[in-house]
Amino acid sequence: MPEKEVRVMHITGKGWGKIIGISIVAALLDMVLHALFAPTYPYDYPPSYFVQNGLFQPAAAVSLLITFFLLALVFAAIQERLPGGKVSKGLRFGVAFGGLWFLGVVGMSIFFGAPLSHEVLGGASDCASLIILGVLLGFFTATGGEAGSMGSPGRSIAGILIVAVFFILGQYDAFFLMSEMPYFDLFGPDTFLWTLILAVWAGITYWLLRDGTIRDPSPVKRALFFGGVIIGINWILFNMFVLLFVAAPVSDPLVLAILNIVSIVVGMFVVESVIFRKEAGYPASR
């Protein structure tokens, strides 16, 4: 229904205060966890402008606040359509994005040669903060949920795997379009294993948040909303975080994020068109 699709535009003054406050709390928690367990690592790559000029901490703080605030708005836009109770909705949302960030941060050990243990701690800090963000948003801002529409376990697993396959294809397409002299082993087994795990989690994220997409008979529109709004805003900002650490070409994280998003959109379109069309309860598109 249209009113649900633009719900974020009708947040009350008190609601805005809750969203802003929760975003600040979660971002501050993330910064504290990083300071305690995963301080900035001197990557074996030219440092960014922010690192060179002592601006990394304020730049990271502002970036986290903006990203967490926009994630909170995404939750506000989709939470009515998510299944479960208030806290359950927030936990579903936080776990989905927490897992994406955790695995994305672990990728820094592949891209720039950082110790895996350091990136695991950094990713865990982000993951914990995003789960807290989701739970707080659910508890303080969510409403009662609807019944889920994921269908049978077999079809759900098939949907996850289809999205994962398209994600892997998009990831390697992005690798080939990145810098002429890659700063990581493109064909290394660790690169493939990391891509595979991230791809499966992208499929799980689709499974966790699929109900939050718009109620529309067109699988194209549903996939575009999911990839462009639910996933896309966050994933572009997350990938651009690397520019706070190293002086990498701006095009590299941008290309990677965009092709990741496109691959999720295409994968979801296939799943929605082939597997879940009848179970979703949407009328057939013309």
Q: So what's the pLDDT on residue 285?
A: 38
CA distance 100 to 97: 5
Structural domain of residue 187, as residue ranges? 2-280
Q: So what's the pLDDT on residue 204?
A: 97
* Residue 73 belongs to some domain of the structure: yes
Q: So what's the pLDDT on residue 275?
A: 82
* Ranges of the chain whose pLDDT falls below 70: 1-10, 12, 145-151, 180-182, 276-286
Q: So what's the pLDDT on residue 1?
A: 38
* Residue 260 belongs to some domain of the structure: yes
- Total-model pTM: 0.91
CA R_g for the chain: 19
CA distance 135 to 45: 37
Total domain count, the chain: 1
CA distance 14 to 20: 10
CA distance 56 to 244: 7
* Residue 219 belongs to some domain of the structure: yes
Which runs of consecutive H residues, i.e. helices, occur in 226-284?
A: 232-240, 242-245, 251-274, 277-280
* Residue 171 belongs to some domain of the structure: yes
* Residue 63 belongs to some domain of the structure: yes
CA distance 197 to 104: 10
End-to-end alpha carbon distance in the chain: 18
* Residue 285 belongs to some domain of the structure: no
Indicate the average pLDDT of the chain.
89
Nearest to 34, CA basis, from 133, 121, 132: 121
* Residue 286 belongs to some domain of the structure: no
